[in-house]
Amino acid sequence: MADYLRALVAALIGISFLFLLLLLRQRKKSRSYEKRLPPGEMGFPWIGETLDFYRALQKNTLFEDFIAPRIQTHGKTFKTRIMGSPTIVVNGAEANRFFLSNEFKLVVSSWPASAVQLMGVNSIMEKSGEQHRLVRSILTTCLGNTGLEALVPKICSVVKGHLDKNWGHCNQQDEKIISLYKTAKFLSFRVTCECLFEMGGEDEVLFECFEKVLEGVFSPVVHLPGTSFWRAKRARAVIEKVLLKLVREKRLKMMEEQTRSSSSLSLSLLSRLVGAMVRGEITEVEVVDNIVLLIFAAHDTSSFAIAMTFKMLSLNPHCYSLLLQEHNKIRSKKTKEGENLTMEDVTKMNYTWQVARESIRLFPPIFGSFRRAITDVNFDGFTIPKGWKVLWTAYGTHFSEEYFKDPMRFDPKRFEDPISPYVFVGFGGGPRVCAGYQLAKLNILIFVHLVVTRYDWSLVQPNETIVMDPLPFPSQGMPLKVSPKI
């Protein structure tokens, strides 16, 4: 018995000693982190500086009210706590290069739980490694230059049809007030649905559902009736039903075409995704989630870029006259009435693309995004502990004198010469660089061409404010006075 007691006491002492050792190691580790953590305020437990962050975000003054004052006090790399997560905010081209190019190696993309559930747990934004590469290669084939060439006349038809119906035809002389932002949003939505996913007809109902989903994207995950998240989930269920039907019908059609050994397999993005599903490379839910994500990624961003391009053109008339010359020249080469643009025409819109990029620099549709450290990360002389979040923002370079002289001035000519890598990051960078960059470019350029060559226009409220919820948009929808050119 005495032996047994002695053994028990020895075991207890041993366990306590081990526990103490572990505790000391943990303490030492966290103290050594503390020494090497960037400066900054963590605020109250859990809530941290979330309220300041959101307040600034909603007013679209994240840089002026949240980031710039902290850079001034703590430097370009600082710590904070947002939505319960300890977070390091990084600024500058070197930080962008380091974190964006080390995706999957040191950090992974990290969206709020609500965004992941609503955009799609199985979409590309949640994939890494081989699975990410597979979906990415499908997107690149379709959304690269060659894949998009065939889309130019299709996009032209969708945009022209909408403008003729809603903005007035050249034989009608009446002036109208339209919301540019809503028009651009609906059109970018239709272009994505019709040109990439062969959808039509259900446009308006689906568009409303996507709007409802967006309202819940950054809201708390609360599954209770009446909450934004609950409403968004219900809207997503409607979208899923429509998309499931679309995917299944496409699958049947592709099977039939194959058995009839038809060579006319369409090369739309829908066909390619469903093709990968038939080959067993991706699942049905992955196809549906990727379609949802792509529709979101495409229309909420392009529409804001279009709206800001027009705002800046209106505020800078000399830029507008240069841009108009570019488009009138392209139009003058068309011999037939109503002749569509070609990819060759689009490649001549150099100045317009400079104007659009300069507008995106000043008003990035995606201000930045979160990453999560998957290991302890050393950067800028600091250690970012595993599990912490990292926030990179476009403002860190776009609004910095270090990269752009007189950064708040609108000057499209900045883009005449190539910009150093990771300085203009409106479309991100590294393995997650925007997969739809070329399509966004086409959408913007074609829309600008068809508007400026066919309509006289002016802003109704040149000082309209920009707000965010959760993405930026003009608070009044950017009313525009338009009348068809004679």
**Best CA proximity match to 481, nearest among 176, 256, 206:** 176
**Binding marks (x or -) toward ligand HEM, 278..307, rule CB under 6 A?**
----------------x--xx--xx--x--
- Cβ closest to ligand HEM, residue 168 vs residue 365: 365
Residue 213 backbone class (left: φ over 0; alpha: ψ -120 to 50; beta: rest) = alpha
**Is 89 an interacting residue with respect to ligand HEM (CB under 6 A)?**
no
**What b/e readout covers 259-297, taking b as 16+ CB neighbours within 10 angstroms?**
eeeeeeeeebbbbbbbbbbeeeebeebbbbbbbbbbbbb
**Best CA proximity match to 372, nearest among 7, 112, 37:** 112
- Tokens read off for 295: 């529709």
Residues near ligand HEM (CB under 6 A), total? 24
Provide the minimum distance between the beta carbon of 345 and ligand HEM in the complex, in angstroms, as a whole number: 20
Provide the minimum distance between the beta carbon of 356 and ligand HEM in the complex, in angstroms, as a whole number: 8
- Among 434, 451, 452, 459, interactor with ligand HEM by CB under 6 A: 434
- 63, 393 in Cβ contact below 8 A? yes
**Binding marks (x or -) toward ligand HEM, 361..400, rule CB under 6 A?**
----xx--x-------------------------------
SS3 content of the chain, % helix, strand, coil (to 5): 60, 10, 30
Does 195 belong to an annotated binding site? no
Neighbours of 462 (CB within 10 A): 9
- Tokens read off for 433: 């660089």
Instruction: Identify residue 455 by its one-letter amino acid code.
Output: Y
Whose CB is nearest to ligand HEM? 436
Provide the minimum distance between the beta carbon of 370 and ligand HEM in the complex, in angstroms, as a whole number: 8
**Is 124 an interacting residue with respect to ligand HEM (CB under 6 A)?**
yes
**Is 432 an interacting residue with respect to ligand HEM (CB under 6 A)?**
yes
- Among 403, 427, 455, 457, interactor with ligand HEM by CB under 6 A: 427
With 0-12 CB in 10 A as exposed, 13-18 as middle and 19+ as buried, what is 431?
middle
Provide the minimum distance between the beta carbon of 86 and ligand HEM in the complex, in angstroms, as a whole number: 19
Sequential DSSP letters for 106-136: TEEE---HHHHHHH-TTSGGG--HHHHHHHH
Provide the minimum distance between the beta carbon of 342 and ligand HEM in the complex, in angstroms, as a whole number: 20
Provide the minimum distance between the beta carbon of 198 and ligand HEM in the complex, in angstroms, as a whole number: 14
- Tokens read off for 229: 């998240």
- Among 435, 450, 452, 482, interactor with ligand HEM by CB under 6 A: 435
Candidate segments 45-53, 337-345, 410-418, 424-432, binder of ligand HEM by CB under 6 A = 424-432
- Cβ closest to ligand HEM, residue 419 vs residue 460: 419
Candidate segments 18-26, 273-281, 315-323, 425-433, binder of ligand HEM by CB under 6 A = 425-433
SS3 state at 275: helix
- 37, 79 in Cβ contact below 8 A? yes
Q: What are the binding residues for heme?
A: 434
The residue ranges that bind ligand HEM (CB under 6 A) are 109, 124-125, 136, 192, 294, 297-298, 301-302, 305, 360, 365-366, 369, 426-428, 432, 434-436, 439-440
Q: What are the binding residues?
A: 434
